[in-house]
Amino acid sequence: MSNPHRVDLIPAPPIQTRIYPVLIAVGFLIVLAALVIGVALATTAADVFDATKAARDGALPGSSLLGDQSDLAAIPLWVQPFTFVGISILVAGIFTVFWGLLRSLREARGAAMVEAVPLLLQQSANAPKGGE
């Protein structure tokens, strides 16, 4: 049976470890939403390009064919920056967890090493040699 963790010896996990999963989830969902929109738009593209060029060019204002062409032109113009925002939220998640790592490096590991290593060296120096 393994020893339990001694979490009383180090500070609590930094808050960044609770924030980053939210950012990762939101970012990924945004990118997934962009893919779903792309797939939906693909069905619109299929409808548009099933019509001949003459029909597409002659589509009257208010017609569904012109509306579909409008969607095909307009929607990618905001979906692409939207995808980049999703990726940037993901990168923000990575940034946040690195920030938490920096804090842990200082508060958990760094402070512990500065306190513990000199003690351990002293204990090694004072330890009874074999036979004493």
Partner 1 sequence: MTQAIGSLPRTIELRAPGMTKMQEIAKLMWLPMFAMGLMVLIASLVIGGVESVLSADLFDLGKTTREGTNATGSTLDKQQFIESTRLWLPRFQLLGMGLLFAGITFLLATILGNLRLYGGLVQEKSGRKVLAMTPPWSAQVFPIAMMAGLMVLIVSLVISIVVAFIAGDVYGNPISTINGAGAGSGLLDDFQTVKTFGTWLQSLAFVGLALVLSGITLALYTIAQVLRFQHERIAQLAEGAE
Partner 2 sequence: MTTTSEMLFGGRAVLAKPEPTTMQKLARFMWVPMLLMGLMVIAASVGISIANAAATSDYFGLPQAVRGAADAPASVIDDRQFIESTNVWLPGFQLLGIGLILAAITFSLANILGVFRAGGVRVQQAFGHEAETLTPPITARLFPMLMMMGLMILILNLVISAIIGGLAWDVYGHSVAEINAATEGSDLLGDLSTVNTFKTWLAPLPFIGIATILVGISFAVHTTLQVIRFQGQRMRELAFAGAEEGGAR
In the complex, the residues that contact partner 2 under the rule CB under 8 A are 2-3, 5-7, 9-10, 13, 17, 20, 24, 27-28, 31-32, 34-35, 37-39, 41-46, 48-55, 72, 76, 79-80, 83, 86-87, 90-91, 93-94, 97-98, 100-101, 104-105, 108-113, 115-117, 119-120, 123-124, 126-128
Cα 1 to chain centroid, rounded: 36
| 65 in Cβ contact with 51 (< 8 Å) | yes
3-class DSSP state for residue 42?
helix
Within positions 86 to 105, which residues make up the interface with partner 1, using CB under 8 A? Answer: 87-88, 91-92, 94-95, 98-99, 101-102, 105
Q: Is 10 in the site for partner 1 (CB under 8 A)?
A: no
Amino acid identity, position 95: F
Write out the DSSP string of 65-119.
Answer: HHHHHHHHHHHHHHHHHHHHHHHHHHHHHHHHHHHHHHHHIIIIIIHHHHHHHHH
Provide, rounded to whole angstroms, the least separation between the CB of residue 63 and partner 2.
Answer: 16
Which of 76, 74, 77 has its CA nearest to residue 38?
76
Task: Select from partner 1, partner 2, none the partner in contact with residue 66, using the beta carbon and a kind-dependent cut-off of 5 to 8 Å.
Answer: partner 1
> What token pair was written down for 70?
């409008």
Binding site for partner 1 (CB under 8 A): 56-61, 66, 69-71, 73-75, 77-78, 80-82, 84-85, 87-88, 91-92, 94-95, 98-99, 101-102, 105-106, 109-110, 113-114, 117-118, 120-121, 124
